[in-house]
Amino acid sequence: MKGSEAIVASLKAAGVDTIFGLPGGVVIPLYDALYDSDIRHYLVRHEQGAAHMADGYARATGKTGVCIATSGPGATNLVTGIANAYMDSSPMVAITGQVRSGLIGTDAFQEADITGITQPIVKHSYLIKDAKEIPRVFKEAFYIASTGRPGPVVIDIPADCQLDEIDYSQPEKIQLLGYKPTLKGNMKQIKAAAKLILSAERPVLYVGGGIVNSGAHKELAELARLLNIPVTTTLMGIGSFPETDKLSLGMLGMHGTGYANYAVTHSDLLIGVGVRFDDRVTGKLETFASGAKKIHIDIDPAEISKNIGIDVPIVGDARGILGELVRELKKARPGKTATRAWNKQVSDWKKKHPLSYEEGESDIAPQHVVEEIYRVTRGNAIICTEVGQNQMWSALFYKHTKPRHFITSGGLGTMGFGFPASIGAKVGQPRKTVIDIAGDGSFQMTIQELATAVNYNIPVVVAILNNQYLGMVRQWQELFWGKRYSNTCIECQPDFARVAEAYGALGMTITDKKDIADAVSTAIKAKKPAVLDFRVRQDENVFPMVPAGKSITEMIGGHK
């Protein structure tokens, strides 16, 4: 068969039934092979959209997302999406066309060295030199993308390799000499961790995206409830522990809750699981949980002691390790009394420093929109976000209870991610209500994907918290730059409702707070893509806030 047919056969062998992409000269053979296949291909309007859709699809389903772009500009348009998947450890295979083998290195038309360009932002990459490599490379790529710490893999395929004839057969085994992720935790270390946990008086579980990736939420809840250990999540960990639980502290860090930041700071044992001690979480490292012993469970050994010293490191898959840890702890038949005083303290902090905002008469507080979305969806929707204030309010004012139901660009902070990600999530979870809580700035970065959503009737809801500002930057200017609002006002903007209608989606503008809930339920029931333009208070800030580089208890605003 032809190389292009071998690609399709390899994709099917990897279990792929959904792809996002946009064709061009050198991938015409591949698209020709797709034409006859039953793989559903979603044609996007910009390749960045394809990458984010594949990413959103992966996060909502746990399966590896796949996107395709042509050589040169098509491939470079994927770059932001690949970097985004890399930073958030999302499994993705990005397929790019390349100029004919003989032309590589000659600055041929639409030639870009995409494996070179993406080298720092991929888990691995391949430049296929011979069509015979196709079955092996695809098998390896999907294996690498989805195992260990997941991440994006790029496969660059020259046009001639798509045309060459090969004898296709699926390789039976994968042989990667240099890739053997550690999954099982070391029992000695697990026992050492159990010992620390049993003797702790003020323990805190600090958990992140690793819980979601490994599907360890049940084991996490079991561990927390066994000894009544309060749980705080990172932005990426949101949904891995129900925020309706009395042990939940919500998110920690720069825009974390006051009580999460106090609890971590005063803890005597910090149990980090699937986290990476990112600067947005720790603030000033020297004061981050400085009185606490630290356990760190992560699948990536390079994360251990990267930013902060660890007393008991355990490398491996969170789910298995937490399961073993619970078994180990149960042997000691622990009571819950050890943490009683600590939980009392935590609940005092919760009462003293609740999240809050001012409600207006009829004007719309952006936080209120998020709360109304929670109320209308009963917390069952998949929430995607853009980046900025909208993202933080979505994290803070919606009570997240399920893993894979909060999809946000954490590590890279990519404006324009949320909307295409929501399309990918809806494709992967068609029965779920999927809502992108957006900023007016971010939405304009990938707004053209409205055509994709309408084209395939993918009924996602975009709820714009329209403050007519690049709000998060404006907030920094207000607080730290003497209110000099340099280039953050974006009042010049389209009428989003009419733009939506022009694309064939539903569009609504909401200016009174009493209309929020109705608009949200109308949009959900519309059974077609919908854009809700909430004209929110323009000068609202995200509080509490820890200024960059300060200790996480040095919060301003939002708490007393």
Partner 1 sequence: MKHTLSVLVENKPGVLSRIAGLFARRGFNIDSLAVGITENPDVSRMTITVDGKDHPIEQVTKQLHKLINVIKITDLDPKRTVARELALVKVKSDAHSRGEIMQIAEIFRANILDVGRKTITLEITGTYEKINAIEQLLEPHGIVEIVRTGRIAIERGAK
If one asks whether residue 242 binds partner 1 (CB under 8 A), the answer comes out as: no
Work out which of 125, 389, 394, 477 binds ligand TPP, going by CB under 6 A.
389
Cα 342 to chain center, whole Å?
32
Closest distance of CB 527 from Mg ion, Å: 28
The entry of ligand TPP, Mg ion, partner 1, none that residue 209 binds, CB within 5 to 8 Å by partner kind:
none
Question: Which C-beta is closer to ligand TPP: that of 454 or that of 473?
Answer: 473
Question: For residues 204 and 200, what is the distance between their CA atoms, to the nearest angstrom?
Answer: 10
If one asks whether residue 232 binds ligand TPP (CB under 6 A), the answer comes out as: no
Residues linked to residue 461 through DSSP beta bridges, in sequence order:
435, 530
Question: Which C-beta is closer to partner 1: that of 89 or that of 377?
Answer: 89
Closest distance of CB 125 from partner 1, Å: 8
Closest distance of CB 178 from partner 1, Å: 4
Work out which of 32, 164, 300, 478 binds partner 1, going by CB under 8 A.
300
Question: For residues 1 and 3, what is the distance between their CA atoms, to the nearest angstrom?
Answer: 7
Closest distance of CB 68 from ligand TPP, Å: 23
At 275, give phi and psi (nearest 5°).
-130, 170
* Site string (403-442) toward ligand TPP, x via CB under 6 A: ----------xxx-----------------------xxxx
Closest distance of CB 21 from ligand TPP, Å: 21
* Residues numbered 428-457 forming contacts with Mg ion, rule: CB under 5 A: 439-441
HEC string of 542-555?
CCCECCCCCCCCCC
Work out which of 106, 199, 305, 511 binds partner 1, going by CB under 8 A.
305
Work out which of 76, 147, 179, 448 binds partner 1, going by CB under 8 A.
179
If one asks whether residue 309 binds partner 1 (CB under 8 A), the answer comes out as: no
**Cis bond upstream, residue 544 (ω within 30):** yes
Question: For residues 204 and 382, what is the distance between their CA atoms, to the nearest angstrom?
Answer: 27
The DSSP line for 27-82 is GHHHHHHHHTS--EEEE-SSHHHHHHHHHHHHHHHSSPEEEEE-TTHHHHHHHHHH
Q: How many residues bind partner 1 (CB under 8 A)?
A: 19
- Specify the stretch interacting with partner 1 by CB under 8 A; choose among 177-185, 206-214, 273-281, 503-511: 177-185
By the 8 A CB rule, do 262 and 287 touch?
no
Work out which of 7, 122, 128, 387 binds ligand TPP, going by CB under 6 A.
387
If one asks whether residue 84 binds ligand TPP (CB under 6 A), the answer comes out as: no
- Strands of the sheet containing 152-158, edge to edge, are 40-43, 18-21, 65-69, 92-98, 152-158, 124-127
Closest distance of CB 469 from Mg ion, Å: 5
State the residue for tokens 């039934």: 17
The entry of ligand TPP, Mg ion, partner 1, none that residue 442 binds, CB within 5 to 8 Å by partner kind:
ligand TPP
Closest distance of CB 124 from partner 1, Å: 4
Number of neighbouring beta carbons within 10 Å of residue 287? 15
Question: Which C-beta is closer to ligand TPP: that of 81 or that of 471?
Answer: 471
Measured in residues, the chain has a length of 560
The entry of Mg ion, partner 1, ligand TPP, none that residue 415 binds, CB within 5 to 8 Å by partner kind:
ligand TPP
If one asks whether residue 124 binds partner 1 (CB under 8 A), the answer comes out as: yes
* CA distances from residue 520 to 24, 35, 383, 404 in whole angstroms, order as listed: 38, 38, 13, 21
Residues linked to residue 510 through DSSP beta bridges, in sequence order:
534
- Specify the stretch interacting with partner 1 by CB under 8 A; choose among 112-120, 193-201, 529-537, 540-548: 112-120
If one asks whether residue 552 binds partner 1 (CB under 8 A), the answer comes out as: no
Q: Is 514 exposed, middle or buried (0-12, 13-18, 19+ CB in 10 A)?
A: exposed
The entry of partner 1, ligand TPP, Mg ion, none that residue 300 binds, CB within 5 to 8 Å by partner kind:
partner 1
Nearest C-alpha neighbor of 313 from the set 190, 150, 179, 183:
190
Work out which of 56, 403, 471, 558 binds Mg ion, going by CB under 5 A.
471
- Strands of the sheet containing 269-273, edge to edge, are 248-251, 231-233, 203-207, 269-273, 293-298, 312-315
The DSSP line for 201-227 is SSEEEEE-HHHHHHT-HHHHHHHHHHH
Question: For residues 390 and 436, what is the distance between their CA atoms, to the nearest angstrom?
Answer: 10
If one asks whether residue 278 binds partner 1 (CB under 8 A), the answer comes out as: no
3-class state of residue 483 by DSSP: coil
If one asks whether residue 15 binds partner 1 (CB under 8 A), the answer comes out as: no
Work out which of 44, 134, 144, 499 binds partner 1, going by CB under 8 A.
144
If one asks whether residue 294 binds partner 1 (CB under 8 A), the answer comes out as: no
* CA distances from residue 73 to 48, 108, 167, 421, 477 in whole angstroms, order as listed: 11, 13, 32, 21, 35
If one asks whether residue 467 binds ligand TPP (CB under 6 A), the answer comes out as: yes
Find the helix or strand (DSSP H, E) in which 384 lies.
strand 382-385
Closest distance of CB 442 from ligand TPP, Å: 3
Binding site for partner 1 (CB under 8 A): 115-116, 119-120, 123-124, 127, 129, 144, 176-179, 300-302, 304-306
Binding site for ligand TPP (CB under 6 A): 386-390, 413-415, 439-442, 465, 467, 469-473
